Structure 1
Amino acid sequence: MSRSLAVVSAVLTAATATSCSAGTKDDEPAVTQSDLVSSLPAAKERVEEIRWNLTSGEPDTLDPANAASYAGGQVVRNLCDSLLTLTPDYKIKPHLARFEQVSPTKLVLTLRSDAKFWDGTPVTAEDVAYTMQRAANPDYVSSYFFASVSSVKVTGSNEVTVSFREPDALFTSELAAVVVVQKAFAEKAGEKLGTPSGGLMCSGPFKLDKWTSGHSIVMSRNDSHWNKGARPFARKVTFSFLAEGAAVTQALDAGEIDGSYELPASTVPSLRSSKAGRLTFGISPQILGMSVASRTGALASDDLRAALERIIDRKALAEVVFHGAASPLYTSTPPSTWPAEQKAAYEKAYKAFEAERSYDPDAARKLVKKAGYKNTDIVLAIAAGDQTQSRTAQLIQQQAALVGLRIKIRTMQPLVYAQASYDASKREGIDLLLATSFSVAPDPLESIGFNFLPKQVYNYTDYNDKNVTRLITEARATFDVAQRSQKIIEAQEIFERSETQIPLVALNTTTFLNNRLTGAVTSFAYWSMPQMAFVGAPGK
C-alpha cells in the first residue's frame, strides 16, 4: 500500500468508525475493462412482480421534460416511449419513430402507425411535435438538446420535420432521451404533469398505476404496447426509495428488494459475496465531482478553486471508497465519452490535466496562501443517507484541513438535494455541491454544453467565455468527428482552467439483481430505454 493510500485509508477508517457498512477493504480488486458487462442473459418467462429500488431516492418529478435525475429519468423511460432508443452497447436505433437526416439542417421523423397511448388513442404526429416544442422551452432541462432547432412542424400524417438554424451533430443521439406525452392530457394537467396528483399519459410498455409520495411508485404491464416482442415480463413493478447504503444492502441480501442500479460504493464489498444475487459493473459516462455552486465568498478566488484540485488523492479515493469500482478523473468529461477514433487526441490533452491536478498538498498550500484565504467556511453540500458521498466529503474535509482550508459539510434531504441541481434557490449558502452527473449520449458535447455555455441549467457560476461558446457551438455544428474533437479539445483547454467543475472519479454503473431474475441491461444505457421490460425469470 502506498503512503498516500495508507493515509487516506486511515482518515476514512477514523471518520467512519461507527459505520454500519461491511467496512473498507484496501485489497479489493479493481474493476477492469474486461469486467464490464452490458447486459445479463435474456429473460424467458414472466413474473408477477419485480421490486426495484431507486437508490437516489424518490423522484422530484416524472415530467419528461424535467426528469433529468437518476430516479425520475429511469422511471419515465418505462412509462413513455422515446423517439429513438439505445442498445446496451450504446448504438442508436429507431423506436417510436425512424429518422432521416435529409440535409445538415433538416431531420425528418416518421412515426409508427400502430402506437397507442394507455387510453387507447393513437400516438399522432401532433403529439410528437407538441412534446418536442414543449421540451424546447427554456424552462425545462431538456431545452439544451434543442439549442440549434429553429422549428418543429407536422409535415405529414405520421411525419414531423425538425429544422435547424445550423447543423447539429448532437441532436439525433439525444432523441433517445426525448419521450412522447399525449398533448391533450399534458395541456389539461398543466404544471401538475408528472406529479403524484397530476400523473402522465404515455404509450410505453408500462402504465403508471400509483405514486404514493414518500413510499413507492407502482406501474403495471401495458399489454397493448405496440412492440409485441418487447412487452414486459413483469405484470407489476414497484419502485421503492431506500437511499441509505446499509439498508439497501440488507434488503437486497434478504431478497426484500429484487434489484437496483447505481448502488452506493459502500454496498460493494458485501454484495460482491452475496448469495442472493449477482453484482455487475457496466460501462458508464458518469462521474463524481464537486460543482462550484457560487463564485462569491471564498471561492471567488481562482487560486483557491485550483487548490481544491490538488487536495484529493483520486487514486486512493477510487480504491478506498469505491473498492476499485471507479477510476481517477482529472477532467469534467470522462474517457468513456471520447469517440473511439479520436481517443489518442483526447488522451494526450487529458494527460496534461492529470499532471496539473495530481495530488500535491504542498502545491495546494501555496495556492491557498496566494489566494489570501481568511479561514472562512467553505460549505460542501451532500445528500442525506448517501454513505459514499458522506465518506468522500469527510475525506475532502480532512485533506483540506491539512492545507489550511475549512470545509463545512451540509447534509440535505434527498428531494431538496435533487432540486438543488437545477434550482438556484436551493443552493443558497452553498459553495460546493458534491454530486454524480452523467451524459445521456456518450459524447463530450452534452456535459460541457450544460456546464460551460451561458444560461445553461448546470452552469451555476454563470461562466461565460466567448471563445468557449464559439468552439462548443462550432463543434456541435460539425459532423466530421476529427474536426469536432479538435474543437472540443481546444475549448477544454480554456474552460477547465476556470475550475468551476472539480472532477474526482469516473464511475461504473453498479447493478445488483436477485438470482430469480435475469435480463437486466447493466450498462448506463439502461437509463435511456424501458429497462424494466427486459427483466424476468430465466426459465428452466
Structure 2
Amino acid sequence: MKRRGIARTTAMAMAAAMILTACGGGGGGNTDQSANAPTGGSAQTATDNGGSGEITKTDIVVGMGADVVTLDPAGQQDTTSGVLIHHVYSTLMDIDEEGNLVPDLAESYEMKSDTEYTFKLREDACFSDGTPVTAKDVKFTFDRAKDMPKTKSNTSKIAEVIADDDYHVTFKLTQPYAAFKTIATQTNLSIVSEAAVTAAGDAYGDVDNVLGSGEFTVTEWVPNDHYILTKNEKYWGEEPIATSITVRVIPEGSARTIALEAGEVDLVWNVDPTDCANVEANSDVTLLSQPSSSIEYLGMNTTKEKFSDERVRQAINYALDKQTFVDTIVEGRGTVANSYINSTIPGWSEEEEAYPYDPEKAKELLAEAGYPNGFECSLYVNGDVRTRSAQIVQAQLAEVGITVDISTYEWGAFLDSLNAGDHEMFILGWSNTSFDADGSTYQLFYSENHGATGNRAFLTDEKVDELIIAAQKESDDTKRMGLYKELQDRLHEISPWCPLYYKYDNVGVRADLKGFKLHKGAQHYLGNCHYEK
C-alpha cells in the first residue's frame, strides 16, 4: 500500500461492506492479463525489498524523464505531475499497490442511493501547517474542480457537495455513476486547503504557497531541472522513512540509466526499454517490471480536414505494423494493443482484433476517401522514445503515400499544443490509475471533453457518447461490461486512434535500495525508500 500500512488495511476491512465495486489508471480486480512477462535477463516483479538492518541513508534521488507541469492538483492531468501530487497531497480514497480501492482521507463512505454518497473523514488528518482537513475543504476542492478544464470531466456528474459537519461530506450526483467512488482517488482531485487557495488566488501552486496533507512538502522546484520533497513532520498517518526526495529531470533515457549505474540517482522511474537489458546485466542495479495499465497510441485530430473521414483513419490503422513497435520501441516488453482499453482493466475485450498490417487495404481506403496519391500531414511528439515511434510511423505511412512531418516538443509545450488542437496527429500514452473502464473512455472520447479535458482526438460521435453515458449509469456489472464491449467495437470502427501497444512499467533501482514496491497503476510510492547497513 502507498501509506499507513497495517492501520490502512484495517480501515479497509472495516469499510469493506460499504465499498461496492463495479469491476477498476492507471486500477477493482483485474481481468486476465494478455501480456506475457519480459523474456530473459533478471527483471523482477513488484517486491517490497525492505529489511531490518540499521538505516544509514534516507535522502533519496530519483531520475525522471520529464518535469512536472503544475503543483496545483486541479491543473494536473499528466502522470509526471501526478507523481509529485501523490506524495504531497491526499485524496478521499486511494488505489493500493494491487489495484484495490482503499480509504485515504475518508475512512469510510456510505452509498445512500445510486446518486448520493456520504464520506466520513478521518478526524486526525491535517495539512502540513497543522490545520485540520475538514468537509469544507473537500467541498471547496470539488466545487473549484468543476470550473477547471482538466478536472471538469471528473466532476461533471456532481450536482452538489454538502459539508454536513466538519467530518461528513455528501455528494449528490446528476445521474447514477458507477465509477464515482474511483473518481475520488484521482490525484487531480486531491484535497486542497480552502484557506490557502483563497489567500494565494491565481498564484496558488507556487512553491511557497503549496499546502497539502500528504507525507511530503515541496521545498524547491527549479523547472526542467529538479524538485525537492521534504518529509512533512505534521503528517497524520504512518511516518515515511525517506527524509527527502530529490527528483532530477533527465530527459534522455540512456543518461538516466548511466546516472543509475553510476550511483548518481537511487531510482529511475522510467527506464527506456532500450536500456533495460543493460540494467539487467549490471549486478549493482535491479530492473523491476510489470504490465502497465497504460496504452500507447497514435491519435488523430478528427476536426482536421484529412482526418475527419473515418476511411483515412482506418487506412492509417491498416498502414501501421503494430508488432514493429513492440519489437523495436519496447524491445518485446509489451504486446500489440488490440483495443482502446488496456488489457489489465476490467471491461477490456479480448474479442477485439487489432487492425492487421495491410498496406494495400490502406491505399484502397485512401483512394476511396479522395487521396489516391496520399497527402502531407504533421505529427507531434515529445521525448526520445516517442520520437523513435514517430520515425516508424513516418516510414510506414510513406509506403502508402502519406508524407509525415515530425515536430518534437518539450513535455509542457507538447500538452499545450494538443490541448489547443493545433495538431493533426500525435503520439501519447494514457494510464488508467482508477482500474475502471470509465477512466479509459469518458475523458478520452466523450464529445464535451475536447482538448485539455482529455479528448485530444477532438472526437464527436453520438453513438460513442450514448454508450459512455449508458455504461456510467449501469449498476449491473455484467451489463456494464457489455456496454464497454459495444463501445470498443464502435471506436474500432471509427478509429480516432491507432492503438499501438500495451507496455511494461520498467523501474530501475540500486540493488541495495530498500523499501520500494511497484504500484499496479504506476503510482509508485517513494516515501519508504532507504538504505541499510
1:416 to 392, 406, 413: 413
What are the Cα deviations for residues 475-516 of structure 1, in whole angstroms up to 9, with x where unaligned?
Answer: 111222101011121222223322112210012211111123
1:516 to 512, 518, 525: 512
Q: CA 1:480–1:37 in 2, change beyond 3 Å: closer, same or farther?
A: farther
Work out whether residues 109 and 117 of structure 2, in 8 Å CA contact, stay in contact via their aligned partners in 1.
yes
Q: Which segment is superposed worse, 100-109 or 294-303?
A: 294-303
Change in CA separation of 1:39 and 1:103 when aligned onto 2, cut-off 3 Å? farther
Q: What is the 5 A alignment of 1:121-160?
A: 121-137=131-147, 139-160=148-169
* Cα pair 2:299 2:457 within 8 Å, conserved: no
Matches within 5 A, 1:491-510: 491-510=487-506
**1:116 paired to 2:104:** no
- Confirm or deny that 1:362 pairs with 2:365: no
Q: Which residue of 2 aligns with 1:187?
A: 198
How far apart are 1:30 and its partner, in Å?
A: 5.8
User: Deviations 1:370-425 (Å, cap 9, x if unpaired)?
Assistant: 22225432111111xx222121111111111112111111111222013334x21x
Deviations 1:30-82, CA, capped at 9 Å, x for gaps: 627x9772443235547331101221x11111210122212111111100011
- 1:43/1:507 CA distance change after superposition, 3 Å: farther
Q: Is the 8 Å Cα contact of residues 306 and 312 (structure 2) preserved in structure 1? A: yes
Change (3 A) 1:523 1:203: closer
Question: Between the two proteins, what is the percent identity of the paired residues?
Answer: 23
- Which runs of 5 or more residues in structure 1 are unaligned? 1-28
The answer as to 2:167 corresponding to 1:174 is: no
| CA positional deviation for 1:294 | 4.7
Show the counterpart of 1:102: 112
**Is the alpha carbon distance of 1:43 and 1:499 closer, same or farther for their aligned partners in structure 2, counting shifts above 3 Å?**
farther
Q: In 2, are the aligned partners of 1:37 and 1:523 still within 8 Å (CA)?
A: no
Paired AA for residue 388 in structure 1: V
**What is the distance in 2 between the residues matched to 1:275 and 1:142?**
43
**CA distance in structure 1 between the aligned counterparts of 2:495 and 2:63, rounded to whole angstroms:** 35
TM-score (norm 2): 0.87
Q: Is the Cα contact below 8 Å between 1:116 and 1:122 reproduced in 2?
A: yes
Deviation string for 1:216-250 (max 9, x for gaps)?
A: 1111111221113xx22111111111111121111
2:102 maps to amino acid: K
State whether structure 2 residue 59 is matched by structure 1 residue 65.
no
Report the counterpart of residue 310 of structure 2 in structure 1.
302
Count of matched residue positions in the alignment of Structure 1 and Structure 2: 488
1:332-347 equivalences under 5 Å are: 332-339=340-347, 346-347=349-350
Shift in CA distance, 382/43, structure 1 to aligned 2, threshold 3 Å: farther
Q: Which residue of 2 aligns with 1:378?
A: 377
Matches within 5 A, 1:90-489: 90-97=99-106, 98-137=108-147, 139-177=148-186, 178-196=189-207, 199-228=209-238, 231-339=239-347, 346-348=349-351, 350=352, 353-354=353-354, 357-373=355-371, 375-383=374-382, 386-421=383-418, 423-424=419-420, 427-428=421-422, 430-456=423-449, 457-489=453-485
Change (3 A) 1:487 1:227: same
Contact 1:364 1:403 in 2 (8 A): yes
Report the TM-score when normalising by structure 1. Answer: 0.86
Q: 1:502 to 1:43 in 2, by over 3 A?
A: farther
Question: What residue in structure 2 maps to residue 7 of structure 1?
Answer: none
Structure 2 unaligned segments of length 5 or more: list them.
Answer: 1-35
CA RMSD of aligned residues (A): 2.2
CA contact (8 A) 1:262 1:511 kept: yes
Partner of residue 16, structure 1: none
Residues 501 and 476 (structure 1), Cα distance of their counterparts in 2 relative to 1, 3 Å cut: same
Give 1:328 deviation, angstroms: 0.2
